[in-house]
């Protein structure tokens, strides 16, 4: 059973200052999880987590992870700017992007970030616009279908990311000729896996590739980046990943494949977003309407603007009706927002306790790819973000948008100046 990290009493107090909807994050949970990840890979002296900024681009949250020893994985100009503002530089930044504008490569080079090339043609492009750095990484796409013992996990052959093996090997040779001295290999083959097998299986593929690359190019492999893909159990009945088991599986593959090949000093990197933060964020909303037609509906003051995943992917997010945790789930609802789109539903045919107008609703596991995927369709305004600190106090870490924010891009004219 999923339990909120805030109580009804806490939420009643919070809503006196911060009306719903809002996203709230659990500092204690975030720190403890970051420390577990670090412990799981402590066997690798070069290990570093590069938090995927795209998952939760909030400087207050990123600072917590920085204090826990994490770097940042950036994929755009604004993410690089945020990293710079927070004091990240050099090998604390991994820049992984695709169809990359020239200015973003220039900014990454200014910060001396690790650059992870997504395409063979980017070698010449990078050299032209920003120069080839001493350390460079390339993203690998093996093509085909990615399988583990648990079955098919994803289809890299249909993904737009990465280089083929032949391109990567030839690319490393060319990069070496152009002055690069140290190399990294990166790959991302599946998203949100709930399996302790994913990272060890991916690691084995990349470790074997590293051995082949070394033999065919003679380059020095400095790091192997396992990227993200380690997911969370969104449904209560799912078994969560065990990061200690995952870390041990990667260690065994490292000892079996890299060490015999003389690659004994290769650092392991990760770029986790969802695993780092998703369980430690809630979207808190209020039930504001009910509707009785062909189905039973509960309307919230939140909508897909605040959490896009259910509308976009049909994703499951668990719902707790605060104060009714022990009540029987004997009512079937579609739980909706107010957008003019019929997919604006947080849950469909969900069995829940009877919901009354004014009930506070917690939508679980929104700490990653929650607020970050927000938008302004229908003129909806994005919510505040709050932090439940370790001392149980509440900190505002992003204010709610106002109509003035929505109209800000018309500041070149007088049409909406009074709003």
Q: Taking residues 107-131, what's their average pLDDT?
A: 98
User: What is the residue extent of each domain of the chain?
Assistant: 8-23+279-410, 27-276
Q: Taking residues 24-36, what's their average pLDDT?
A: 98
What is d(CA 27, CA 13) in angstroms, rounded to the nearest whole number? 18
Q: Phi, psi (5° rounding) for residue 204?
A: -60, -40
Asked whether the predicted pLDDT for residue 3 surpasses 70, the reply is yes
Task: Rounding to the nearest 10 degrees, give the CA dihedral for residues 335, 336, 342, 344.
Answer: -110
CATH 2.40.37.10 fits 8-23+279-410, yes or no: yes
At residue 404, the pLDDT reads 95
CA distances to 6, 98, 350 from 160, in Å: 40, 9, 35
What is d(CA 383, CA 375) in angstroms, rounded to the nearest whole number? 11
Is 0.85 topped by the overall pTM? yes
Per-residue pLDDT of 313-365, as tens digits, reads 999 999 999 999 999 999 999 999 999 999 999 999 999 999 999 999 999 99
Bridge partners (DSSP) listed for residue 281: 25
Asked whether the predicted pLDDT for residue 149 surpasses 60, the reply is no
In the three-class reduction of DSSP (H, G, I as helix; E, B as strand; rest coil), residue 149 is classed as coil
Asked whether the predicted pLDDT for residue 152 surpasses 50, the reply is no
Catalytic pick from 138, 329, 340, 413? 340
Q: Of 40-54, 141-155, 182-196, 377-391, which range is least confident?
A: 141-155
What is d(CA 76, CA 231) in angstroms, rounded to the nearest whole number? 23
What is d(CA 331, CA 349) in angstroms, rounded to the nearest whole number? 9
Asked whether the predicted pLDDT for residue 151 surpasses 60, the reply is no
At residue 143, the pLDDT reads 86
CB of 50 closer than 8 Å to CB of 72? yes
High-pLDDT (> 70) share of the chain, %: 98
CA distances to 22, 284, 373, 376 from 338, in Å: 16, 16, 17, 13
Per-residue pLDDT of 51-77, as tens digits, reads 999 999 999 999 999 999 999 999 999
Element (H, E) at 109: helix 102-110
Q: Band the pLDDT of 155: cuts 50, 70, 90.
A: confident
In the three-class reduction of DSSP (H, G, I as helix; E, B as strand; rest coil), residue 287 is classed as strand
Bridge partners (DSSP) listed for residue 273: none
In the three-class reduction of DSSP (H, G, I as helix; E, B as strand; rest coil), residue 370 is classed as coil
Asked whether the predicted pLDDT for residue 50 surpasses 70, the reply is yes
Q: State the architecture of 27-276 in CATH terms.
A: Alpha-Beta Barrel (3.20)
Judge whether 340 counts as a catalytic residue.
yes
CB of 199 closer than 8 Å to CB of 250? yes
Q: Taking residues 159-179, what's their average pLDDT?
A: 95
Q: Taking residues 249-262, what's their average pLDDT?
A: 98
**Could you check whether 8-23+279-410 and 27-276 share the same CATH topology?**
no
Bridge partners (DSSP) listed for residue 77: none
């Amino acid at each position: 059973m999923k339990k909120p990290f805030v109580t009804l009493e806490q939420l009643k107090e919070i809503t006196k200052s911060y009306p719903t909807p809002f996203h709230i994050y659990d500092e204690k949970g975030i720190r403890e999880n970051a420390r577990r990840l670090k412990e799981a890979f402590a066997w690798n002296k070069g290990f570093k987590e590069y938090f995927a900024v795209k998952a939760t681009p909030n400087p207050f949250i990123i600072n917590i992870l920085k204090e826990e020893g994490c770097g940042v994985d950036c994929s755009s100009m604004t993410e690089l700017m945020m990293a710079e503002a927070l004091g990240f530089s050099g090998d604390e930044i991994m820049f992984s992007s695709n169809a990359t504008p020239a200015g973003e490569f220039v900014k990454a080079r200014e910060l001396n970030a690790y650059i992870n090339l997504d395409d063979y043609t980017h070698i010449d492009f990078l050299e032209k616009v920003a120069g080839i750095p001493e350390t460079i990484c390339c993203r690998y796409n093996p093509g085909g279908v990615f399988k583990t013992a648990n079955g098919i996990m994803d289809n890299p052959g249909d993904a737009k990311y990465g280089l083929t093996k032949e391109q990567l090997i030839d690319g490393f040779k060319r990069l070496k000729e152009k002055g690069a001295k140290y190399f990294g290999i990166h790959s991302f083959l599946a998203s949100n896996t709930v399996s302790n097998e994913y990272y060890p299986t991916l690691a084995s593929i990349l470790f074997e590739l590293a051995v082949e690359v070394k033999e065919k190019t003679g380059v020095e492999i400095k790091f192997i980046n396992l990227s993200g893909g380690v997911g969370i159990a969104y449904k209560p009945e799912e078994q969560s990943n065990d990061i200690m088991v995952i870390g041990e599986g990667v260690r065994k593959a490292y000892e079996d494949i890299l060490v015999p090949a003389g690659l004994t000093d290769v650092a392991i990197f990760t770029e986790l977003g969802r695993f780092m933060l998703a369980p430690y964020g809630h979207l808190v909303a209020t039930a504001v309407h009910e509707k009785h037609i062909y189905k039973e509906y509960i309307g919230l003051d939140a909508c897909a603007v605040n959490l896009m995943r259910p509308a976009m992917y049909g994703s499951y997010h668990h719902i707790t009706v605060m104060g009714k945790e022990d009540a029987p789930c004997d009512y079937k609802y579609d739980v909706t927002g107010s957008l003019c789109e019929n997919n604006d539903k947080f849950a469909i045919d969900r069995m829940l306790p009877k919901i009354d107008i004014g009930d506070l609703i917690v939508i679980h596991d929104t700490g990653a790819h929650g607020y970050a995927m927000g938008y302004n369709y229908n003129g909806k305004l994005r919510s505040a973000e709050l932090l439940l600190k370790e001392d149980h106090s509440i900190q505002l870490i992003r204010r709610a948008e106002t109509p003035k924010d929505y109209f800000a891009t018309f500041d070149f004219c007088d049409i909406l100046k009074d709003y």
